[in-house]
């Protein structure tokens, strides 16, 4: 196991921002793998970024794993109940 | 192979509408499997529906496969270029 597993957290920027992060991360290091982590609406952005990266820029990139799950988030201010949020992880691998 | 593979197309209704469709479909038939198909923003809804169905309603439901891809859509009226849209398929399996 390496100390710095490549992980990119997907937020609400446009997909291309994360495509760039994927390419940079895989080019700069000798890492062969990178994992995109997203929650809620950012899940769609994660899929977009993975697909754009692999179809348009790095043809040797493979999707090695996709998993989904649920995370409990603390309640918003003024609310009592914690919220359940869907999560997704996409692992991309360079051949 | 069965003639009617269980497929639910996820659109822009709230996730609970699809949770209900999942439960109905798996209860009414003797099907053991159902596949959710989603495009674009509906991808998040598909993940929500799968997670709610399996965590809150059908504890014996397992995620057997998650895959992502890209589909080419015809151009919108007045546009020339076809659009690329991310897609996702989630297969759920009853134990």
ipTM confidence? 0.86
How far is it, in rounded angstroms, from Cα A27 to Cα B54?
Answer: 39
DSSP lists the bridge partners of residue B87 as B39, B69
- CB neighbour list of residue B74: distance below 8 Å, 6 or more residues apart: B82
Confidence band (pLDDT; 50, 70, 90) for A5?
Answer: low
B38 contacts on A by Cβ (under 8 Å): none
How far is it, in rounded angstroms, from Cα B78 to Cα A35?
Answer: 38
Contact status of A86 with chain B (Cβ, < 8 Å): yes
Model confidence pLDDT, tens digit, residues B9-63: 999 999 999 999 999 999 876 788 999 999 999 999 999 999 999 999 999 999 9
How far is it, in rounded angstroms, from Cα B21 to Cα B8?
Answer: 8
Query: What stretch of H or E contains B36?
Result: strand B33-39
Confidence band (pLDDT; 50, 70, 90) for B5?
Answer: low
- Does the distance separating the beta carbons of A69 and B68 come in below 8 Å? no
Mean of all residue pLDDT scores within chain A: 90
pLDDT score at B80: 85
pLDDT score at A80: 85
Residue with tokens 């040797």: A60
Residue B84: count of CB within 10 angstroms of its CB: 14
């Amino acid at each position: 196991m390496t100390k710095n597993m490549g992980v990119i957290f997907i937020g609400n920027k446009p997909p291309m921002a994360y495509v760039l992060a994927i390419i940079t991360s895989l080019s700069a290091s000798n890492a062969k793998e990178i994992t995109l982590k997203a929650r809620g609406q950012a899940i769609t952005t994660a899929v977009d970024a993975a697909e754009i990266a692999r179809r348009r820029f790095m043809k040797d990139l493979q999707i090695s794993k996709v998993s989904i799950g649920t995370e409990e988030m603390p309640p918003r201010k003024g609310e009592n109940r914690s919220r359940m949020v869907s999560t997704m992880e996409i692992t991309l691998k360079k051949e």
